[in-house]
A and B are shown apart, each in its own frame.
Chain A
Amino acid sequence: MKIKELAIGVASILFSIFLLWEGAKYPFFTITGEFIPGPGFFPLILEIIALLLGIFELISSFLLDLTATRDRPSLKSIKNAIVYLTIMILYVLSLGHINFIVITFFFLFASSLFLGAKPFAGLLFSLIASILTFVLFQIVLGVYLP
C-alpha cells in the first residue's frame, strides 16, 4: 500500500463528496417544458468524475507496493516553510492597515534574515527595494498599491 496514493484517493473522494453536497443546492435542470441544463448540471458531471478518480487512486494504493519511495523533506525544512508562510500571511494581513513602504520594508528585512542574508545587506536591500517598489509601481506605472 502506498501512503501518497491513499492520501490522494481519500482527498479526492472527500472533494467529490463536498462537490456533491454543495452542488446539490443548485438545480440540475431548469424545468420550463424544455430541456435546459441548470447550474447544477455541470458540477454533477465533475462530481462523478472526481469520485471515480478517487476510487481509482484508492484501489491503486492497495495494489501498489512500497518499493518506490521518494525523498521526503526533513521536519526542520517543513518547519521553515511553515514559519515563512506565516510571515507571508502576516504581511498580507497587514496590507491596507499599515503604510505599504513601511510594512514592505519590515517584510523584506525579516524575510532576508530568515533566509540567511547578512543583517547589513538585508537592511540596505530592504530599504532600497521597498522605496523602489513604491516609486516603480505607484509613481512610474500608476498602479494603486494597498
Chain B
Amino acid sequence: MMFLLDFLLQISPQVFLYLVLGIIFGIFVGALPGFSATMATAILVPFTYYLDPLCGLSMIIGSACTSIFAGDIPAVYMRIPGTPASGAMALDGYELSKKGYASLVLSIDLWGSAIGGMIGVIILIVGSRAVASAALLFTHFEYFWLIIFGLLMSVVMSKESLTRGMLSLIIGIFASMIGIDIVSGFPRFTFGNPELLNGVNFIPAMIGLFGIPVILSEALQKFRSSTKIPDSQISLREGIKTLSAHKGIVLQSSLIGTIIGALPGLGADVAAWISYGFAERVSKNSKDFGKGCIEGVISPTCANNAALAGTWIPMLALGIPGDSITAIILGAAVMYGLKPGPFVFSQSGDLVYGIFLIFFVAQLLIIPLGHIGMRVFRLFFKLPKNLITPLIFIFCVVGSYSIRNSVFDVWIMLLFGILGVLMESADIPLTPLVLGLILGPMLEENLRVGLIKTGGNILPFVTRPICILLISVLVLVIIIPRILSRAKKTKKCITRNRFQ
C-alpha cells in the first residue's frame, strides 16, 4: 500500500490536474455517438502543444483511455458505438440493456476497462521491449496470416451462416478497395468521383452501419409512447462481483487486447472484436453470444482498454504507431522531445517512466470519474425515444461531417446505414463487413507486397515458421471446433435413428 502511495506521489499536482481534465474531456467526447477516441485525441493535441511535456501527455493519455471506455455508454443504451473500439460492445451490451441490465453492464464496463487497462499497462511496463522485438520478426507473410485470422474469426463468430458471414466480409473488403490503390497508385472503383479517390472513410461507414438501423427501427415501430429502457441504479459492487466470477475471461481478454494492440496497425477496435470472437469460441455459453451474454460484455471492454496500452509498445520501442490514436500522439510526442525508437529508454527515460505512471493513475481515475460520467449520460439517454432518436441522427451527421468537413462523408454514413438495414433484414452479419473495411487494405498490401518480394512465389506464405504457427492456430481455433460440432451432430443423428 505504501509502495503504491509512494508511486502515486511521484505525479505532480499540475500533471494530475491535466490528467483529470483529459479524463473529463475523454468521457464527454467518447460518449457522443460517432466521436471516436482518435477524434478526441486529434481535437486535444493542438491545445497541449504549449504545456509542459508531461502535462500535455497526461492530458492526451487521460482522454484516450477514457474516451474508449465512454464509447461503450451509447453502445449499451442505443447500440450506437461511441468509438469504433466499442463496436463489439454494442452486441451483447445493448441486448442486456434491453432486458433491464444496462446498469450492470456499465458497471462491468467501468471495472473491466480499469482492470483491462491496468493489465495492459503492467505488460507495457514489464514487457515492452520483449513484445516489440517479437513484433519485429513479423514480415508481410506473417501479417497476412494474422489478418486472415482476424477476418475469419469475425466470420465464424457470426450467428448466421458461414456463407453470409463471408459475403459480408467480401462487401467490407470491396468497400476498402475503393480509392487509390495503395501499391500501384491506380484509382479503383471511384466511378470518376474525385471524392472517392481518398477511399471510404471508416468512421462514417461504421456510424451508418450501426446507427441508422437502430434509428430506422424506431421509425418502423413508430413510438407513440415514450418507450424507455428499463434500468436500475448503477451499482459498482455488482460489476466487480460479476468480474470476479469471470476472472479467467478478464485475464484472457486483457492479454489478447494488449497483444493485438502491440501489433502495429490493428488497434483497440480489432482487439475488441478478436477478443470477443475468441471468448465466444472458448465459452460454454457460446450460443448466448450476441443475445445478451455477460461474457460478451466483459471480453471487449477489457480488451479495448488493454489494447490502448498495447498500442504504445511499438510506438515507444519502434517508433511505429500501434493505431490511429498513437499515430497522432507520435507527432505530438516528438514535439515534446520524446524520441521513440530502440533507444527511447536511454534517451528519454524520465519521460517514458512518467508516461507509464500516468497510464497507471489514469486507469485508477477511470472508476470514480467514469462513474460520474455514466450517471450524467444515463440521464441523457433516458429521455423519450421519440425525442432522442432524431437527435442521435444529428450526432451521426455531425460526427461523420467533422472528420473531413465533408458532406460527402455524411452521404457515406447514410449509404452504409441503408446497407446495414438491408443486411440485417437479410440476416447477414455486420461485423465481418466492419473488419473487412478496416483490415482489407492491410490484407491486400501484405499479400501483394509479399508476392512482389518473392517474384510471385507463394511458398514463403506457408513455409515460414511463424506462418506455420499462425496457420496451425487458425486451424485449431476456427476449423477444428466446427468439424467437432458437426461430428457431434452426426453422432446424435445416428444415435437417434438407432433408437427409433
Contacts and interface: CB of A to CB of B under 8 A. Distances in A.
A115 B402 contact: no
Given A39-B183, A92-B411, A115-B219, A8 B426 contact: yes
B167 A129 contact: no
Interface in B391-423: 391, 393-395, 397-398, 401-402, 405, 407, 410-411, 414, 418, 421
Contacts of A35: 451-452, 455-456
A17 interface: no
A115 B222 contact: yes
A46 B222 contact: no
Given A81-B216, A141-B43, A92 B427 contact: no
A39 B186 contact: yes
A96 B411 CA distance: 13
B455 A121 contact: no
B199 to A, nearest CB: 13
A8 B428 contact: yes
A84 B426 contact: no
Contacts of A137: 398, 402
Given A8-B428, A53-B167, A57-B163, A30 B184 contact: yes
A56 to B, nearest CB: 5
Task: Decide if the interface of chain B is mainly helix, strand, loop or mixed.
Answer: helix
B173 interface: yes
Contacts of A122: 387
B216 A133 contact: no
Contacts of A143: 43, 398, 402
B219 A53 contact: no
A8 B224 CA distance: 34
A88 interface: yes
Contact of B216 (A39, A84, A91): A84
A129 to B, nearest CB: 5
Contacts, number: 159
How many A residues touch the partner, as a band?
35 or more
Interface core residue of A111, A114, A129, A133 (most chain B CB under 10 Å): A111
Contact of A111 (B173, B393, B402, B410): B393
B163 A115 contact: no
Interface string B194-237: 00000000000000000000011011111111100000000000
A116 B451 contact: no
A80 B174 contact: no
A53 B393 contact: no
A80 B219 CA distance: 6
Nearest to A41: B448
B447 interface: yes
Contacts of A42: 177, 444, 447-448
A98 to B, nearest CB: 13
B48 interface: no
B181 interface: yes
Interface string A116-138: 11000110010001000100010
A115 B17 CA distance: 44
A7 B186 contact: no
Contacts of A38: 184, 186
18 contacts: A35-B456, A37-B452, A39-B188, A46-B173, A49-B170, A56-B163, A83-B219, A88-B215, A88-B414, A95-B401, A111-B390, A112-B390, A115-B219, A116-B225, A144-B401, A144-B405, A145-B398, A146-B401
Interface of B: 29, 43, 163-164, 166-167, 170-171, 173-174, 177, 181, 183-184, 186, 188-189, 215-216, 218-226, 384-387, 389-391, 393-395, 397-398, 401-402, 405, 407, 410-411, 414, 418, 421, 425-428, 444, 447-448, 451-452, 455-456
Interface of A: 4, 7-8, 12, 15, 19, 22, 26-27, 30, 34-39, 41-43, 46, 49-50, 53, 56-57, 60, 73, 77-78, 80-81, 83-85, 88-89, 91-92, 95-96, 104, 107-108, 111-112, 114-117, 121-122, 125, 129, 133, 137, 141-146
